[in-house]
Each structure stands twice: as structure tokens, then as C-alpha cells.
A and B are shown apart, each in its own frame.
Chain A
């Protein structure tokens, strides 16, 4: 049985995908590596096929029409035979010894019949520019090396929110959650670490710097100007998250609070980007988003509106908007939340 499926969505990744794949190979028979060639126009498909033929039973190559990162994640999930599912972006990589420890632990947990719904590990920002790294760990919020439930979870700083990089899901759970990521959309990773959470009952955390998140020189998809350009996609994703969270009655207070905070950040980013862009149409979109939320779940609307970030992002008047931008930048620096 395969313990983990690593899904690697690849779009024109021929220049760097090898490094990523090479760090996954030591997983050997315990893992399955699915390379999803997302309609690339370079050698990505060829490289994927080469690995698949060199490592049969370990690497699979799947070619699809271009559908974006989210569609790659969907395809990986459909084809995954591993008990757990982890997405590794083709410009990132894993720490191989760390990976082996995680697999070993999962194996033991599976054997003892106590396999968690979700495994969490640290991730590391690898800055290409100055060769520095920044580690995000959870030692202050999660108990280590044992099964726990949401009840025992501390309060996450926004810089610590669970990202795609930090989680490994039980594959069946992901399928049960019904999560399908929208095509051709950025920021879908937010949905990935949000929508399935109510299905997650048991968690396990290992203080291992597993995921290496590469921050390149130029095409940093998260800088402000780029985000403004893609504001519609930010809105689309936020709406999907509203859909999945509204009307939910979560028995776990901690989980409820965590998801509320996360959604609040998403709302704040959407709102603030609209404000920063200075465009009237974007301000209208912002108003629409909030009224969409209100129509979906009034209680949630009220909760979010009076939530710290909700308040900041909705200060009244022109001066209020200026203050919003200022506070946002301040917060962003402090929390590095995007």
C-alpha cells in the first residue's frame, strides 16, 4: 500500500521540476508521485514521461489540457492511490530525510489503527535572492508527536495559518469533503486548507522542516500590484470559502474560531486590495462581497464585520480608507500574512 501520494502540478516547469521530483524519489515504495503536466508548451511532459518510465510503480505522469494549479490538484486527487495526499509545487521541494521520518510515522500510525486525518509539518521559505530562509513552525500552537483534536489547538498567528505547504491530508477525507478547486484561478490553495477542515477530527504535528517553499527573484505571485490585477480571482476564491463556511455549525469552538479568522483575513485582503487599487469598480466589488456574505449567513456577516480585520478593512469614508491601507501594510509586515 502507498502511504503518501505526492501530486506535483507542473506548468512549463522543465527548468526546475527535476529538483522537486528528485527530492521525492527516496520515498521509494511507500510513495506515489503523480506528475500532472498541465498543458505545458515546454519539455515538462517529456521529463514527466521519462521519470515515469524510469521509476515505474513510483512515478506516474498525467497529461491534461491546461486547467491551472487547482485543476492539477483535482487531477492528482482523482488518481491518488496513497492513503495520504500532499501537493508539492514543482518549483518547491521537500527535505528528503524529513519526508522519510513523516512516512515512517504515518506508517506506524496506520499500523496501530490510529491514523490522523491530517498531518502537519513546518515549512520553510527559501529566498533565492539572498539565500536566506525563514521557518514557519507550530510548536507554540500544536502538541507534538501525538494525535490531538481541535480542542487542544492554541491560537495561530496569521503568519502561521495552515498553508498547502504545511498539511498532508487523508486522501479519503479530501474526497469526502467534496472539494473541487476551480480551474484557471490563483489562490485556490486557500480553499484547499479551508473547506475540508470540518472533516478533520484528528491531527498530528511533527516539528520537521519538511516543505521548502521557493521564493524566486522576480515572479513572486503575491506582491501587491500583481494581486490587484488578479483581484477577481481573489474574490472568486473568497466567495467559495464563504459558501463552504456559511451556515456551518461547527461543534469545535477552536476550529470555528480558526476558520473565522482565516476567512476574515481573506475578506480583509479582498477589501484592502480594492481600496488600494483606488478603482471605483473594485470598491463596488468589495461592497458586493460583503452583501453576498450577508445574504448567505447574516450571523457570520456580523461576526466578521466586527472582527478586527473586518473592522480595519471597512473603516468609513476617504480618511478611513487611507487608514485601512496604512493599517493593512503595517499588519502585513507584522504578520506576513500573504
Chain B
């Protein structure tokens, strides 16, 4: 079957679907996408459960971006429901907005103190700025350091320990940086220009992206079973594949983990149905000082579904990824050792002809959805351009 296709895409998440569409549409290629799961969409997949409630199977996904190109591109395939995500942290029963912002400040400290700290924050960093805990801690002002300590202890520490299974010092700064303090009264979790949810869900968005006559999609088709590498050649079902290959799966699996597996954190999702209209007041509540799970998400807030007597929530339990059957690698654990290991695998692909790594697994990185779409479009630019010159 190989010879019938110009391009082989492995994985059908955002990376695979977008690059597949681009190659088919812009470069006029016949594209074969193989996906090991029984559905499209990768981790952004959503589905309607037996009670008729739309759920995100692999954790809550909220779209947000500052890339106009990405927003415009995806808008070809979906309409949007306006939604600004808000997250609260449950700190000993008190619910305060996160990222920690000026509203949180007033809920945490008595008004006089809060006012003082607010002024100092604005004076030091400016209104509507984002500062990380690290930056705050580095200040000499006692009030600011106290605030940093409070946020560190009550919002950041235990949550991060649960998430990463380590103390925060062992977490890469890029991760810490993702938990900012916001000098603003804006309670939204993201401040991006464009944010919302695909009006008919992510799966429908993916169906539209994939709806192109030159795209063939095989589900339940695991590259590990169907792709073999030999002497810098790639074989699909025993036939050499000489066209363009885009790999969006885990890179170590491509080489049977020959240098050892790349470490990941995984998540266990526990869904619960409750016979009430609402379970909690916002989409997500983080449990930053207690509970074994990191957060609870109630999907109806995100999806806008109207249902008077039923709701579904999901608890997230982080854990170590062991590669066991059914476990999914969610978050790359970024440190020097792991990145070096990643480089070793990556080098093995350097000698392959027209072979490209794309996506959070293949690049061993954290990408937001918009970021990976942007990457996929950029790779498509490059591939289509190259084609044009020939």
C-alpha cells in the first residue's frame, strides 16, 4: 500500500492532522495518516458519554492563542464558543483565583495589607504584568517576599509535588515559569487575544480538518507494529516507504527504546457523574494544599452544555509513566539528562531522508495546542516551499 501514498503521517493529534491537511491541500500530496488509538484528535479528543455529556477524554483542553494565523487557520474548520477559562485554588476551603492575581490578594490578606502589597507590586513590576514566583522571591521588600512565600507554599508547592512527583527545585524553570503571579484584576486563566472552545467540540474540528479526498486515515494502526527501520530505510508493512514521513509519536518507541525509555509523567483521570446542575462554580478548581488529585474540572463550564440535573467532573491523579499497557505519556520531564537522551534518539533520525519529527512526543516538549498548530504550519511552509523550488 505504501506506493500509493506520497506522505506518511504517524499520529493524528493536532500535529498529524494539521500537517496531513496541509500536505494534501497545499502540496497536492496523497497522504496516509496512521493512528494507534481508535479515534482522532490525540489528547484533544472529546466525546459524548452515555448520559449525553460532552467530555474531554484526556483532560480539559481550552483553546487560547496570540497567533492570528493559527486562529484563522482553525476557524476554517470550526466556529467558536466564547469561553474564558477561570481557575480557582482551594486553599483550606477558601477559593481564590489562579494564577494568583490582585483579586486573590484581597481574598487572602486583610484589606489594608492587601492594598499595600498591591501598590508595591504595581510600583515594582507595573500593572497587568506577569511575574514568576522566582522573580518575586528575589525581591528585597519584606511584603513581596512574604507574598512569594505564601504563594509558593499555598498555591505552588504541594501542587507541583503532586504533578511532578518531586520537590520544586528539581523542576525545570520553564515549568515553574508557567505558574505566574498576575498583577491585574483579570480572573481569566489565559490572557491571550483569542480564546474559546470549538463550538461543536474538538473531535468535530478534527473531522473537518481530515475531510479531504487525498487523506486516508487508519485508526487502531500502531506504528510500532507496522513500521520497521533498517539501514536508514523505513518500511511500512514490509514495503519500503520512500516519501515524506512525519512522525508525531514518542521517539523512543520508534527505536524500541534502545537507549532506554524517555521519562514522562502520566495522569489518571477519574470521571464522576453527579445528579446536580453544577458541582463547582468554575471550570477548574486546583487542590493546592490537600487531596491526592491536582484538580477537578467540570466540563459543562467549558463546553457550555445546558443540562439541569446532571454534570460530570474529572479528578486528575498524576503519576510516574512506566510504559505499562494503557498508560499514556503526558508530560515530558525536562532536565539535562533526559534532553541528552532525547538527542541520542533524534540523531538516529538525522540520516533518514525526508523524515520529520513533529509534536509534543516526537520533540519531547510541552506544546500548547496553538503552539503545535503553529509548528505544523511552519513545517508545511518549509515542505511546500522545498517542493516549489524543485
Contacts and interface: CB of A to CB of B under 8 A. Distances in A.
Interface of A: 18-19, 22-23, 25-26, 28, 54-55, 58, 95-98, 100, 131
B38 A28 contact: yes
Contact of B221 (A26, A54, A58): A26
Contacts of A26: 218-221
Contact of A97 (B32, B38, B238): B32
Nearest to B325: A54
Q: What 6 pairs between A and B have smallest CB-CB spacing? A: A25-B220, A26-B218, A22-B225, A97-B216, A96-B218, A95-B1
Contacts of A98: 1
A314 B168 CA distance: 89
B225 A96 contact: no
B4 interface: yes
Contacts of B225: 18-19, 22
Contacts of A54: 325
9 contacts: A18-B225, A22-B225, A23-B237, A25-B220, A25-B221, A26-B221, A28-B38, A97-B218, A131-B238
Nearest to B4: A97
Nearest to B326: A54
A19 B38 CA distance: 17
Contact of B219 (A18, A28, A131): A28
B370 interface: no
A131 B239 CA distance: 9
Secondary structure of the A side of the interface?
Answer: helix
Contacts of A55: 38, 220
Interface of B: 1, 4, 32, 38, 216, 218-222, 225-226, 237-238, 325
A97 B218 CA distance: 7
Contacts of B222: 22
Nearest to A18: B225
A95 B216 CA distance: 12
Contacts of B216: 97, 100
Contacts of A23: 237
Given A95-B1, A96-B1, A97-B32, A22 B218 contact: no
A78 B307 CA distance: 43
Contacts of A131: 238
Contacts of A100: 216, 218
A26 B221 CA distance: 6
A188 B1 CA distance: 30
Contacts of B32: 97
A96 B221 contact: yes
Nearest to B35: A26
Contacts of B219: 25-26, 28
Nearest to A28: B219
Contacts of B38: 25, 28, 55, 58
A22 B221 contact: yes
A96 B38 CA distance: 14
A69 to B, nearest CB: 25
Contacts of A18: 225
A154 B11 CA distance: 44
Contacts of B220: 22, 25-26, 28, 55, 58
Contacts of B218: 26, 96-97, 100
Contacts of B238: 131
A25 B218 CA distance: 9
Contacts of B226: 22
A98 B3 CA distance: 13
Nearest to B32: A97
A104 B141 CA distance: 69
Given A23-B237, A26-B220, A97-B4, 16 more contacts: A18-B225, A22-B221, A25-B219, A25-B221, A26-B219, A26-B221, A28-B38, A28-B219, A55-B38, A55-B220, A58-B220, A96-B1, A97-B216, A100-B216, A100-B218, A131-B238
A97 B2 CA distance: 10
Nearest to B220: A25
A296 B286 CA distance: 82
A241 B38 CA distance: 42
Contacts of A22: 220-222, 225-226
A23 B220 CA distance: 9
A127 to B, nearest CB: 12
Contacts of B1: 95-98
Question: Could you say which of B4, B32, B220, B221 has the most chain A C-beta atoms within 10 Å of its C-beta?
Answer: B220
A66 B338 CA distance: 51
Contacts of A97: 1, 4, 32, 216, 218
B83 to A, nearest CB: 30
